[in-house]
Amino acid sequence: IFAAVEMAPRDPILGLNEAFAADTRAEKVNLGVGVYYDDNGKIPLLAAVRAAEKARLEAMPPRGYQPIEGPAAYNNAVQGLLFGKDSQLATSGQTVTIEALGGTGALKVGADYLKRLVPGATVYISDPSWENHRALFESAGFPVENYPYYDAASRGVNFAAMKAKLDSLQPGSVIVLHACCHNPTGADLSDAQWDEVVAVCRERGLIPFLDMAYQGFAEGIDADAVAVRALSSSGLQFFVSSSFSKSFSLYGERVGALSIVTASKEEAGRVLSQVKRVIRTNYSNPPIHGGAIVAAVLSSPELRQMWEDELGGMRERIRAMRTGLVDQLKAEGVAQDFSFVIKQRGMFSYTGLTAAQVETLKADFGIYAVSTGRICLAALNSKNIGYVAKAIAQVVKG
Ligand code: PLP
Ligand code: TYF
């Protein structure tokens, strides 16, 4: 029965991990996958997570099934992060939040539910976007198209083109928006531009789906929620996927959430019943551990403060690596202006390196990046940044 099965293409980002692992050079550096490493090149175990985990281990709670939508304590904590403490959207009961298997799982539950809700819709994602967005919505049965986003010349967002496209879409179209720290470009909308996007969504009757995978990595928890807050105060209905993989450094625990803002508590009850149906036929109910840790950290004032401080530390370290890389490229005699790297936000930079230059970095230096020229700044550290800067300088100088 498997004789005719073809080999599927590798994930262009996760596939790099395999090639990197097989590379025997000691000086190799993996700037491919979006993972935060500390200055020693290790994935950190946050102190707040460690404390919550220790308390949990000591309590040794039983492992019954969870509610299909996940525990209320977790879902309420997620709403607090997204909408702000004591927000009307949370207290009114009009917002559905379900625990999901990472941000990916949240997108998938959201996509499957949307397919039941608006089966004839087209889904629009930014050009470019996270590789998995297209695949996720296509696998839910939607046609997926792009809206213009990145402008290579200015290294920023071509907002006029983006807005013109959104203005032309059919009512009921789903638009997937990166809430902050755009992956892969690092180019975000300004607060004023978010207000304009919200206005277009209202005028055209579009369905916004915010993807929030890096809350806290640009400016801070509340500042990075600007898109969520703009939609919240608009009175529109929308979807948000949250991922805590990066912000809690809990990648493999698969902790995320899907939130759906509806018009009323009564509507939310009906929507939740339908979303639970999607979950039941996928994985029945979410795993316990990761969500329990996140809920424990967010509901304890001390642990929450500890976490925000650690998140701030990760944010600052990435910023220092951005500045450091730009300075060292200059010191290496690179004439090209790389200062845009400092303006980009989150983990990534679209460097403008060509696929051929990325290939040379890999072949000659053991430095792995995505062929689009995307690098993960959070993989740089005080030991490898000089090596990486020298290599990039050599490659761009030809
Ligand atoms: N959305 C974006 C924009 C991402 O960069 C990621 C990265 O992992 C995800 C979603 C998926 O999150 P998770 O790893 O929690 O599934
Ligand atoms: O873009 C990244 O590198 C992260 C990690 O299928 C990732 O978002 C990459 C690919 C993928 C899942 C996660």
What are the extents of the domains in the chain?
Answer: 14-45+314-397, 65-299
The answer to whether 188 and 345 are in contact (CB under 8 A) is yes
Q: What are phi and psi of 150, to 5 degrees?
A: -80, 140
- Residue numbers annotated as active site: 130, 211, 246
Residue 387 to residue 377: CA distance in whole angstroms = 14
Q: Copy the structure tokens of residue 10.
A: 């590798």
For ligand 2, atom 11, name the residue with the nearest CA.
Answer: 14
| CATH number of the 14-45+314-397 domain | 3.90.1150.10
Name every protein residue with a CB atom under 6 angstroms from any ligand 1 atom. Answer: 34, 102-104, 130, 178, 183, 211, 213, 243, 245, 256
Report CA-CA distances (Å) from 395 to 303, 334, 398.
Answer: 45, 10, 5
| CATH number of the 65-299 domain | 3.40.640.10
Q: What is the ipTM metric for this complex?
A: 0.98
Its pTM stands at 0.97
Query: From the centroid of its chain, how far is CA 151?
Result: 20
Report CA-CA distances (Å) from 330 to 326, 345, 351.
Answer: 6, 21, 15
Tell how far the Cα of 225 is from the centroid of ligand 1, in angstroms.
Answer: 16
Per-residue pLDDT of the chain (398 residues), as tens digits, is 999 999 998 888 888 999 999 999 999 999 999 999 999 999 999 999 999 999 999 999 999 999 999 999 999 999 999 999 889 999 999 999 999 999 999 999 999 999 999 999 999 999 999 989 999 999 999 999 999 999 999 999 999 999 999 999 999 999 999 999 999 999 999 999 999 999 999 999 999 999 999 999 999 999 999 999 999 999 999 999 999 999 999 999 999 999 999 999 999 999 999 999 999 999 999 999 999 999 999 999 999 999 999 999 999 999 999 999 999 999 999 999 999 999 999 999 999 999 999 999 999 999 999 999 999 999 999 999 999 999 999 999 87
Q: Copy the structure tokens of residue 309.
A: 């401080």
DSSP letters for 280-308 = HTTTSS--SHHHHHHHHHHHSHHHHHHHH
